Amino acid sequence: MNNLKRNKIRVITEAETSFASYKGTFGDLLHQGVLPIFAMSNNNLVPLGTGFIISPSGIMMTARHVVEDFVDRKEIRDSNEPIENFGLYVLYASDKKHDYSSDYSNCYIGGPIRIIKISTDVNLDIALCQLQAMQKVDTGELLKYPTVKLNFSVPQLGMKVLGVGYSGSQFSQDKYIKKGKYTKRCVDYSCKFVTTGGEIVEVIKSQGHRRWPHFRSTARFEPGMSGGPVFIENGSVCGVICSSFSNCTDESGYMSYVSELWPALAFKVDVLLEGNMEPQKITLFELIKMNIIGTDDSKNKIEMIVDKTGNTIGIRRIK
């Protein structure tokens, strides 16, 4: 899958005070940590949205509506196609190209990585996805994913934000090429990597079908950006792109919404800790306390609510 060496955890810190105009360069850390999501079967590939990685082991955050509707979809599979041939994937590309002597010297090292587990909450438009381990093809060595840093502060009116995601994703020229005794499937993929700046204009606890804490921004989110990260000026991610739609009554002509992150801290994921034989279910909040997931100082304003038996029953902000 990948022969790129990674000896340390890499945290994306692309954002600066001028970050609202940042466009990125293909293969940089922003592209490696913010990934397009798609459904794939033997005969169909369907672009779905965007996700971003929050742990070196491949825990990815996205919007619930991006992945949930496709978990059990059968219409993009042939009736005789085994269910194991269908799945949800992200497309990863490193900052390195293949060796110039290969047939793929113009291609970046990477490829589709399967989403092997999804955790959702009907009360939030946030989902957690566990990506398949990324390994070196020659040695099998596990590689670490680049990650973003999270922020759980209270959104402030006028705060500058930067939404990141993929729009206009499409697959074409799906063909099979036989080389020797092997047959390779070749697919051309194209998309527009979008960064859109704006500011927070409204903070909302609950509204209509969005029954979770969120805020409205002047940043324009294009179709396909759902599930992407929203950065603030210190380079951390404060929210997940939820929706954007045209509204002629708004001065900008459209309205964009972002889910706040802190309610998702009660999500539990399966994590194999050092010294254990089996994975354990651990909350995101606990993973932050263990320094497995990176955050800024806003984590000090969050606390876990536990019952008498020690089970987590909620997360809240400390005033």
Q: Is residue 219 part of a domain?
A: no
Domain total in the chain? 1
- In this model, does residue 44 exceed pLDDT 90? no
**pLDDT category of residue 41 using cuts at 50, 70 and 90:** confident
Domain range for 307: 263-317
Query: Which of 164-168, 211-215, 306-310 shows the lowest mean pLDDT across its residues?
Result: 306-310
Query: Which of 12-26, 146-160, 234-248 shows the lowest mean pLDDT across its residues?
Result: 12-26
**pLDDT category of residue 14 using cuts at 50, 70 and 90:** very low
- In this model, does residue 243 exceed pLDDT 90? no
**pLDDT category of residue 12 using cuts at 50, 70 and 90:** very low
Q: Is residue 299 part of a domain?
A: yes
pLDDT of the residue at 298: 84
Q: Concatenated DSSP letters for the chain? A: -B-----S--B-----TTGGG----TTSHHHHHEEEEEEE-SS-EEEEEEEEE-STT-EEEE-HHHHGGGTT--TTS-TTS-GGG-EEEEEEEEEEEPPTTSTTTTSEEEEEEEEEEEEE-TTSS-EEEEEPPEEBTTT--EEPPPBPPB--PPP-TT-EEEEEEEEEEEEEEEEEEEETTEEEEEEEEEEEEEEEEEEEEEEES-BTTB-S-EEEESS-PPTT-TT-EEE-TTS-EEEEEEEEEE-TTSTTSEEEEEEESGGGGG-EEEE--TT-SS-EEEEHHHHHHTTSS-B-GGGGGEEEEE-TTS-EEEEEE--
Question: What mean pLDDT do residues 163-172 have?
Answer: 86
Q: Is residue 158 part of a domain?
A: no
Mean per-residue pLDDT over the chain, rounded: 78
Q: Is residue 210 part of a domain?
A: no
**pLDDT category of residue 86 using cuts at 50, 70 and 90:** confident
Q: Is residue 33 part of a domain?
A: no
Q: Is residue 298 part of a domain?
A: yes
Q: Is residue 268 part of a domain?
A: yes
Q: Is residue 285 part of a domain?
A: yes
Range of 36-45, 75-84, 220-229 with top mean pLDDT: 220-229
pLDDT of the residue at 4: 34
